[in-house]
Structure 1
């Protein structure tokens, strides 16, 4: 009886030690910082290739997994705020500018030259985020006349067309999306129905998730249990793994508040549950593998190994966005002052058998 009790206690101790080791093993390593740009656009193509974009017209790319970066201010667009970027290779990428003018640029030669694919000086047009699935791409803009603005491309960003407003999601008065990390819009590549299931999260007067097929007229809209009611708070980012969805957000003016900042759905958005242990304000969440998610924001970087139910802080630095390689394991983070970092995931530890 005593021997069994000792075995059980040893087992609990080993589990605790393994958990501590797991948390200590993962880390966020700053690769470089100190440039006069706020980075919010991030697209990791592979373990070698990634692109980033930010304010004051800055764009950079790497071919060696983030060790070195090729920086530039896009000529003629030095005042543009490139809030999102989508890269397809070390040569091909699309950048999107928020504010006025609203811009979409594309390069086919690694950034040597950029072609203007959309240009609009109408101050009512404000782009928030962009996502692609193969050749199909989508850009989300803030509401105009109570309808979110949606642009689509079928040729990897060479040409763009605005979606019929009657087929775009409806916005409540005071509701909008956040151009904080390029992830308030995502395309669920493994959607329950079929590919190109568009997903949008919002904030302001309401905190909602809206999702529909890119070809659908009808959007399903559901309230989220994320803090809202003012222009600084709501749902900022959504990440998916097929039918499991995770949303993060909060209030960026009170970024240490940990109430109502993360929630998840394990049935494709039908019902939502609030996380038990929640992070401070988070502007971006990313699915990594299994049930694991990474989120980041001005309140630091957080890790969940149980599908977003519980979150543990792993780094104190402020970041705006995180993104994992489309093909590979590289996961990078970007933030203000040109800060770029790499995330090292936890190792899996085997609990040894101890004979007593």
Structure 2
């Protein structure tokens, strides 16, 4: 009897905990599709999107200062990396391909990289620290474009030995999270193939592993990767068939650099363009059919919201979790 009572009590506890994870709308109604999101701490966050639009909050998302950067009204700012309420780096996909930087909170922006060649298409950026960062671009001449900075984004150079790309393979500029950098440079790909590409930050030497995610078309593959405490979670799917629930999330345990693919028992409800590590064994994922959460490291997922978002990110220092999407939409995850 005691065991039954304990089981019921635990079931109520965990059910209550799950129900407490909700997403609330903070902003919407602007003519921009947001895909870049960088949350610095519990107060400061930046977003970047289409039509040359950026915005910053310094009060945890309650209020936002919006800006359409003059001269870049046609630019698609698909990713942003912010370091404070003053300093941020943004990348523009499409042609021309730009990397811009501000050190005065977005009042002025300076061009740090520009290519008018249509072969250049920038997908994502990530930084190890304030000085050392990378930008990933679509393949050129059989190699993924990989740019590197060691001075905070002021100057960029081609990284030594970028990874080779397979025919019709690419990366998705959907949420800025197809590239993640910590002790390793990690890239997930899609298109004709879906792969995990891994290299040490120093002395680039790439190892690749096929991913059992749906692929074989330009709209399919792995879109996002997030490092957890015990797992690495990868999400994606087919954005043209975003209600399909098969082949959208895989767990890759980190075991002495050996990666083993595992499929979830219950996957997210459809295509997910972004996944973010929250804490413990909890990950949040989001996409056009809604947002999902796992509390067991990716084994089982539960849909918590049906609103379309493109990206979700947690504060680098703190626990603020924001989401952003089309129509200038910004949401917040509350526990």
Whether 1:162 and 2:152 are equivalent positions in the alignment is no
> Stretches of 4+ moved more than 3 A in 1?
none
The answer on whether the counterparts of 1:38 and 1:336 sit within 8 Å (CA) in structure 2 is yes
Whether 1:43 and 2:38 are equivalent positions in the alignment is yes
Cα shift at 1:269: 4.9
Whether 1:31 and 2:21 are equivalent positions in the alignment is no
Whether 1:262 and 2:249 are equivalent positions in the alignment is yes
Whether 1:139 and 2:128 are equivalent positions in the alignment is no
Provide Cα deviations, 1:152-186, integer angstroms capped at 9, x if missing partner.
0001101111124xx11111111100000000000
- Distance (Å, rounded) in 2 between the aligned partners of 1:269 and 1:322: 27
- Distance (Å, rounded) in 2 between the aligned partners of 1:269 and 1:133: 22
Query: In structure 2, what is the equivalent of residue 18 of structure 1?
Result: 13
Cα shift at 1:242: 5.8
Query: In structure 2, what is the equivalent of residue 192 of structure 1?
Result: none
1:244-283 matches, within 5 Å, as 244-266=231-253, 267=255, 268-279=257-268, 280-283=270-273
- Distance (Å, rounded) in 1 between the aligned partners of 2:138 and 2:225: 17
Cα shift at 1:260: 1.2
Provide Cα deviations, 1:280-321, integer angstroms capped at 9, x if missing partner.
100000011111111111121111111111111111100000
- Distance (Å, rounded) in 1 between the aligned partners of 2:47 and 2:134: 18
Provide Cα deviations, 1:238-279, integer angstroms capped at 9, x if missing partner.
001366211000111111111111011222452111111101
- Distance (Å, rounded) in 1 between the aligned partners of 2:178 and 2:258: 15
The answer on whether the counterparts of 1:30 and 1:339 sit within 8 Å (CA) in structure 2 is yes
Aligned residues: 331
Whether 1:336 and 2:330 are equivalent positions in the alignment is no
User: TM-score, normalization: structure 2?
Assistant: 0.97
User: TM-score, normalization: structure 1?
Assistant: 0.91
Whether 1:316 and 2:306 are equivalent positions in the alignment is yes
Query: In structure 2, what is the equivalent of residue 326 of structure 1?
Result: 316
Equivalent residue for 1:288, pick from 261, 275, 278 = 278
- Distance (Å, rounded) in 2 between the aligned partners of 1:323 and 1:207: 23
Runs (5+) with no aligned partner, structure 2: none
The answer on whether the counterparts of 2:229 and 2:280 sit within 8 Å (CA) in structure 1 is no
Runs (5+) with no aligned partner, structure 1: 1-5, 190-194, 346-356
When residues 42 and 116 of structure 1 are mapped into structure 2, their CA distance, relative to the original with a 3 A threshold, is same
